[in-house]
Structure 1
Amino acid sequence: MRRTDSAQPRGWGALALPAVLFITIVYVVPMAMLLVRSVVNEESGLGAYTGLLGDPGFLAVLRNTAVLSLVSAVLCVLIGFPIALTIARSRGLFRAFLFICVVAPYLTSVLIRVFAIQVLLGTEGIVNNVLVAIGLDRADLLFNSFAVIVGLVHSEIPIVVLVLVPVIEKVDVNRLLAARSLGAGPAEAFARIFLPATRPGLQVAFVLALVYSAGSFAVPQLLGGNAAGMAGSFVYGAVSQEGDTASGAAASVMLSVAIMAVLVLFTLLTRQKIQNVVAPQLMSAAPAGPAEPGRPRRGGSGRYARRSVTGLAARLLDRSRISYVPGIVPAVATVLAILVLLPQLLAIPISFAGTRALVFPPNSYSTQWWANMFTAGWLRPLGVSVLVGVLSAVCATGLGILAAIGIGRARSKVVRALSLPYLLLPVLFPAVVAAAAFFISFLRVGLIDTEAGFVLSHIAITLPQAFIIGFAGVQAINPDYENAAASLGASRLRTLRRILLPLLAGQVLAALFLTFVTSFDESTIAIFLSGIDVQTLPSRIFEALALQTDPTVGVTAVLFMAVVSVGAVAWQVTKRLRRRTSPGTATERNAA
């Protein structure tokens, strides 16, 4: 049995202080300077805000941001739900295949995904070639709202699926069987039982897709052009290109306020904690209560399902017998999952193209772009990204794991209630807002165009990832281990070194891998902070995509996918070996 908070040993909370101080100095202070810059400028006061709100161009940007984000979030949920449902109800190789289709794009740089969309929707791309094959004219599919929606949906679907899978797995299948035994058809049972049970997860997935889409930068910048600019691309143009930091800061503040308003309103309506919305892993790590999630309230969901559009559609599907067709959902999910993965695979033949133009299939083949990849113009940014990624991963993982132990074992509920959301601040605000804040603050201390600037900013944005992973692991460890060590005279340092860290070895490795990948392919902050002397690989890719078509980007995509695949396989093998060799019960092995 777990000990109560009052019985927990004192002093663990101090382990969170280094992470809290780092977030305060490197993240919160720059964000405060961004806010100050928006009101303290040539037109002191709210001049920057009134100027933007009176600009028809900026109002069009706000409208694009709201509309495109909303449409993308709806499509993400509609497409991601059948994929998540099939993954949750599948086992073996088929489940692994679907997971790979979804996770592979998620672990690769958004710039590589944008490059893949450019190949897919280009004038000589697959979609236009299909249009020509069926007798239609080629269409302008790039640099408009359609291209931005495709890019946003492709970027956010993995997040939606990863949020929904654990929610769907918790739904009791016997409830559906009971509904079927009482005469409900497959679709009606799904609408009246399954959807209400998964509604909290669907809501969180929708909100995450909405806020991440609203804060997107690379997708609208490279796929939208002037016709479909969004708030992120406006901030980049104002801060980095025009040098108008006041307008960029004001736009960043407005974007942040809008996103925070959405998150706060959602938490108030659903009575969820904001940290459980932006980091659903924390919700799954908390001890489960006796109530069944998703149970219909006040007995009204069944009547509502019968009268709602969903209920009417379900009854129509049952009457037409379409819902009785076996395997229809897995078939649809498989097609959708392949479509999610397909753009990534297009980079392979493009990397061997004989010409610079993005034509698919290539008219000729060559290895010139592979040779170009191994020149100084690409190897130098690659080396910077590796160095920054390693340093950021080590520091973020160390700070995050210690903070997870400190907050997870802290006696005070107040400390936990305040520290946990505070360490998640970098997850709450869009990366483009953080990038603008880093640019404005680092410019004053000479950290622009330096490796130190990259490392500090990347630690700040990856530390929450390590903390989330570590906190979930700490919650799974029985405190009696530490109590037994303390009763035998072990100091807190010895308990940490001999008990907790060995049990958290899996979380440490996972945090190192994820934080390195995040830092390595982070593009938004890298683009803002890059200069003449120091450039990371993502900023070099952005330069290649923004200025001219360069199939060398396809080479980087292939190499990155290969590295991520090897890392993922190595992680799975390591985890299985640990499960086989770890002594103790299954619960203890999972905690390790």
Structure 2
Amino acid sequence: MKRFSQLAIPYIVWAAMMLVLPMALIALYSITEPGNSIISFSITLDHYVKFFTDQDFLIILWRSIWIAVKTTILCLLIGYPIAYFIARSSEKVQNILVLCVTIPMWINMLVRTYAWIGLLSEGGLVQRIASFLGFWGKELLYTEGAVLLGMVYNFLPFMILQINTALCKMDHSLLEASADLGANPVQTFRRVTLPLSLPGVINGITLVFLPAVSSFFIPKLLGGGQYFLIGNLIENQFITVGEWNFGSAISMIMAVIMMLLMMVVRKVEIRNQGGKEE
């Protein structure tokens, strides 16, 4: 046991340097104000007060949460049937379909998002198809719809893979038992398949919502700077404005929101499994 503890030391040091230390610095920046000299500063909560008392910042926060919710719902509605179809396929077909889902993830997300600019721009493939279907003249790029499309496209594989994993781990003899007891396919899905797949659904929701609510380059590229989210606000405070203290305060607010969400998800998962939190 002592030997294993010693082997964990490098990981603990790495985690402290790469995770704990940066978060501590952000927390320190969020509650301080620079003084006249380099080493002098004062403790203040003005940055948090500034955020929660400015209606524009609250609107941006609400807009970010709302589009993350819509992204999560769309990913769930699209991803669950796909994951269900993959899980019900033969093992050979499953491997091919999972590969098709994961192949786009091998390409950098920034590159994939850039590709949508060409597809959605004027004269692009998507606009040509829309024009053919009678939506001539409708602007596609630099809209909320384009941002939502980019988020769903980038985060959908996370939902599919999590749900598919849960469905594949399910004991298929339970489905046979349900059919033997007289349940039709709809009843079997509602009372057996869906409850047993909820852990995958919950994990998928977490993996989609958390990056969606803090995304900054997808709205920047597909929204053209006109659709401003909380991730863009943080980036703007650090890079453009140079207000590191205020940007750190916004980052801490988002970190708290995400941790609260993860706690809620954890409690829901424990309740679904019928267990007790340790």
**Structure 1: distance between partners of 2:8 and 2:89:** 39
Q: For this pair of structures, how many residues does the alignment match?
A: 268
Query: Displacement, 1:177?
Result: 2.5
Q: Deviations over 1:384-441 (max 9, x none)?
A: xxxxxxxxxxxxxxxxxxxxxxxxxxxxxxxxx9xxxxxxxxxxxxxxxxxxxxxxxx
Please name the residue that 1:154 is paired with: 153
Please name the residue that 2:111 is paired with: 112
Identity of aligned residues (%): 28
Query: Displacement, 1:44?
Result: 4.3
**Structure 2: distance between partners of 1:136 and 1:80:** 27
Q: Say whether the 8 Å CA contact 1:131–1:137 is kept in structure 2.
A: yes
Query: Displacement, 1:159?
Result: 1.2
Paired AA for residue 139 in structure 1: K
Q: Secondary structure at the match of 1:106?
A: helix
**Structure 1: distance between partners of 2:63 and 2:33:** 27
Query: Displacement, 1:217?
Result: 2.1
Structure 1 residues 104-503: aligned runs within 5 Å: 104-271=103-270
Query: Displacement, 1:168?
Result: 0.6
Q: Say whether the 8 Å CA contact 2:219–2:225 is kept in structure 1.
A: no
Please name the residue that 2:62 is paired with: 63
Q: Deviations over 1:360-402 (max 9, x none)?
A: xxxxxxxxxxxxxxxxxxxxxxxxxxxxxxxxxxxxxxxxxxx
Among 4, 7, 11, the alignment partner of 2:3 is: 11
Please name the residue that 1:97 is paired with: 96
TM-score, structure 2 length as denominator?
0.88
Please name the residue that 2:33 is paired with: 41
Q: Say whether the 8 Å CA contact 1:123–1:138 is kept in structure 2.
A: no
Query: Displacement, 1:127?
Result: 2.1
**Structure 1: distance between partners of 2:155 and 2:209:** 9
Which moves more between the two structures, 190-199 or 95-104?
A: 95-104
Q: Say whether the 8 Å CA contact 1:110–1:218 is kept in structure 2.
A: no
Query: Displacement, 1:92?
Result: 5.2
> Could you list the runs of 4 or more consecutive aligned residues of structure 1 that deviate by over 3 angstroms after TM superposition?
none
Q: Secondary structure at the match of 1:216?
A: coil
Q: Deviations over 1:257-312 (max 9, x none)?
A: 1001100122133339xxxxxxxxxxxxxxxxxxxxx88x6xxxxxxxxxxxxxxx
Paired AA for residue 56 in structure 1: Q
Query: Displacement, 1:114?
Result: 0.6
Please name the residue that 1:565 is paired with: none
Q: Deviations over 1:71-122 (max 9, x none)?
A: 1011111111122222222235532331222101222111111112212222
Paired AA for residue 18 in structure 1: P
**Structure 1: distance between partners of 2:121 and 2:90:** 37
Query: Displacement, 1:245?
Result: 0.8
Q: Which runs of 5+ in 1 are unaligned?
A: 1-8, 273-293, 298-416, 418-592
Q: Say whether the 8 Å CA contact 1:148–1:223 is kept in structure 2.
A: yes
**Structure 2: distance between partners of 1:84 and 1:20:** 36
**Structure 1: distance between partners of 2:49 and 2:125:** 45
Residue 21 (structure 1) aligned with residue 13 (structure 2):
yes
**Structure 2: distance between partners of 1:251 and 1:97:** 42
**Structure 2: distance between partners of 1:152 and 1:65:** 12
**Structure 2: distance between partners of 1:167 and 1:134:** 38
RMSD over aligned CA atoms reads 2.2
Which moves more between the two structures, 41-50 or 256-265?
A: 41-50
Among 13, 18, 22, the alignment partner of 1:30 is: 22
TM-score, structure 1 length as denominator?
0.43
**Structure 2: distance between partners of 1:87 and 1:186:** 17
**Structure 2: distance between partners of 1:123 and 1:57:** 31
Q: Secondary structure at the match of 1:41?
A: strand
Q: Secondary structure at the match of 2:2?
A: coil
Q: Secondary structure at the match of 2:170?
A: coil
**Structure 1: distance between partners of 2:187 and 2:179:** 9
Q: Which runs of 5+ in 2 are unaligned?
A: 35-41
Query: Displacement, 1:209?
Result: 1.1
**Structure 2: distance between partners of 1:125 and 1:99:** 29
**Structure 2: distance between partners of 1:54 and 1:202:** 36
**Structure 1: distance between partners of 2:92 and 2:107:** 22
**Structure 2: distance between partners of 1:106 and 1:72:** 18
**Structure 1: distance between partners of 2:232 and 2:166:** 34
**Structure 1: distance between partners of 2:103 and 2:127:** 25
Q: Secondary structure at the match of 2:8?
A: helix
Please name the residue that 2:38 is paired with: none
Say which one has the larger Rg: 1
**Structure 2: distance between partners of 1:117 and 1:161:** 21
Q: Say whether the 8 Å CA contact 1:76–1:153 is kept in structure 2.
A: yes
**Structure 2: distance between partners of 1:268 and 1:196:** 16
Query: Displacement, 1:27?
Result: 2.8
